[in-house]
Amino acid sequence: MLKDTDKKYWYHVIGRKMDEQTLQNSSLASFNVASYTPGIYLYQVITNGKTQSGKVIVE
């Protein structure tokens, strides 16, 4: 069950927050990076009090 605090964040590797969204009743979190410039980005998904994070390279 998702809570109001369930969110996803997207950051440029230099630390600038690119996106923040509250998750709405979904077990799938997706990111659209089509408008992002090439570089390394970090993501963080928080659901049910658990955090998953990782990095993505946009070419």
Q: Where are the domains of the chain?
A: 1-27
* pLDDT at residue 16 in the model: 92
pTM summary value: 0.75
Q: How far apart, in whole angstroms, are the C-alpha atoms of residue 2 and residue 14?
A: 30
Q: How many CA atoms lie within 13 A of 56 on its CB side?
A: 18
Q: What is the pLDDT of residues 16-54, one digit of tens each?
A: 999 888 887 666 777 788 889 999 999 998 888 889 999
The closest of 41, 46, 45 to 18, measured between CA atoms, is: 41
* Contact yes or no for 43/56 (Cβ under 8 A): yes
- Check residue 27 and report its DSSP letter: S
